Amino acid sequence: MLNKINDIREFRNHHLGDIPHTVAVEPDPERGSNGFEAHAIIATPLNKYKMSAFSSHLPPPAGAPAECASLGTVIFFDPVDDTTVIGPRGDRVFLDVSRRIHHREFSDAISLARRALAEAEPASIKAAQEKLSFLVSAGAKWGIDISRVPMAPKPATTVAAASVAVEIARPPIASEPPAQLSASEPVAPVKPADEPMIGLPIVFICNPGEGAAGMTTVPGAVTRMWPDGSVGLLMFVDDHEVQHRPKVYRRGTDAGNGRTHQTGCWDLADWYKRLITENRQLSERVSGLADKLAEIAAENAKLTERLTALEAKPRRGRPAKPEGGEVEAAEPAVEGEAAKDAEHDLVA
């Protein structure tokens, strides 16, 4: 009985033959293969992928479509963006897996070629330019735009090519943008300051020429945050298909070399942006009213202090009459009449 791993080798021969570097199919050391199931690692100098093939004589794995029961099952896993493809054994699934591998390999190869050209000596510039031109021309078939592929970062120390490729800030597969940010629109921060990130409703923006289930923007939710500002996304591609993507950057954030992420990234859903904008506007209005009320309260306090001071100040006017004033007031009258009598006596 032939080993089922030959099916994966045939897939490599028929679908990955135009990749410009070595593509090897190695048995998965963690799981064995036989005539009913195969588990292999598709290894290149830049990346490693896992692929499994199951015979139709075995029950389909959990989550597999119903067609797998009659056609067999194929499972593909890309550890770079934590993407899993599961479907029936057939051209549709093989072409989808092929597209993903080609996109990843050509993007990484172009990134490394751009770095090599930037660091090339004068004698080797022409060869580096020819290599980059070939990769760009071949990658265009798979929807790769060189302007959207960043240059590979310069390693601090000598690192194997495979580990360098993992560090490349490349856009994930299955991606494409809706409306671009306007020039006057400020770039939002990586982490919104006024709402929690976990469970945040977002959209994933696909790369040019790609999509998922016919969509160029895919709805989803944030499931995880990384210290560098990237997030993990749970994407609802279709009614029966859910994908997870780790370490996805937000649209408008720095992508290096003076560029910003515009595709292969996430952004807030439009309705959620409007909700946040309205909430902030209401908060600003409420804050303005609170400041106005505080000013009025301070003015009222000053007026109250002035009234209290005025009431405490003594009033000017006629002095109050002492007790028994009527008796004291009568005495001058008596003395006056006595004086008049004395004067009368002298005249007489």
pLDDT tens figures, 78-117: 988 888 899 998 888 999 999 999 999 999 999 898 888 8
The total of other beta-carbon atoms located within 10 Å of residue 204's CB is 29
What gap in Å lies between CA 141 and CA 209, rounded to an integer? 10
pLDDT at 337: 58
Phi, psi at residue 176, to the nearest 5°?
180, 140
Q: Binning pLDDT at 50, 70 and 90, where does residue 188 land? A: very low
pLDDT at residue 333 above 90? no
Query: In this structure, are residues 203 and 217 in contact, taking their beta carbons and an 8 Å threshold?
Result: yes
H/E segment holding residue 286: helix 270-312
DSSP classification of residue 211: -
Q: Which residue has 């896993």 as its token pair? A: 77
Query: In this structure, are residues 94 and 42 in contact, taking their beta carbons and an 8 Å threshold?
Result: no
Q: Which residue has 């290096």 as its token pair? A: 256
CB neighbours of 163 closer than 8 A, spacing ≥ 6?
none
Question: Mean pLDDT lowest for which of 26-35, 156-165, 173-182, 260-269?
Answer: 173-182
What gap in Å lies between CA 162 and CA 48, rounded to an integer? 8
pLDDT at residue 304 above 70? yes
pLDDT at residue 176 above 50? no
How many angstroms from the chain centroid is the CA of residue 242? 19
Over the stretch 247-277, which tens digit does the pLDDT of each residue have?
A: 788 888 887 777 888 888 888 888 777 887 8
Q: Which residue has 């597969």 as its token pair? A: 173
